[in-house]
Structure 1
């Protein structure tokens, strides 16, 4: 399990609700620190989600997303036990992946 993400995927009637909390600084590159120096840009650029290995979501992000992003999305066609995997890639080449099985709400 990747500690940079917490996830939940719950079957709710005819859809699955996926919630993702990511630990990431999401720096714009425009903020100054206490020494009045620019803090380098560090942000998630690409986020993808799959259901049992098949792509279901691709998001291209930039500096307009807040620190520790929270994302909720819904899927159709998932069943109990199916695996949802979320991966992000940032502008510094870092990446994180987390997967979880769909549970009943």
Structure 2
């Protein structure tokens, strides 16, 4: 199973700023290894964010996203104590889901 995401969510006013660091290699499928063979593509394709179980963000990513991607977004109406959930899926079918509480 992939490493856990590092999620920070901070409330300010009626919004919360969410910062997510995802541990993933994010191979494009265009690099070659030492033997000259192409390294197969392996990257995150779908990201979903929820606030207390309700979807607030969906994203479709491609191979041009950097290794260990960082995502930041603002959620309107979030307050301290709410739960932010992040889920991603990659080209190998692996998924990862983690949650954080808005502080």
Q: TM-score, normalised by structure 2?
A: 0.95
Following superposition, which runs of at least 4 residues in structure 1 exceed 2 angstroms of deviation? none
Q: Deviations over 1:40-75 (max 9, x none)?
A: 100000000000000000000000101000000001
Gaps of 5+ in 2: none
* 1:30 paired residue number: 30
Count of residue correspondences = 102
CA RMSD, 1 decimal: 1.0
TM-superposed CA distance for 1:97, in Å, is 0.5
Say whether the 8 Å CA contact 1:4–1:24 is kept in structure 2.
Answer: no
Say whether the 8 Å CA contact 1:46–1:89 is kept in structure 2.
Answer: yes
* 2:94 paired residue number: 94
Gaps of 5+ in 1: none
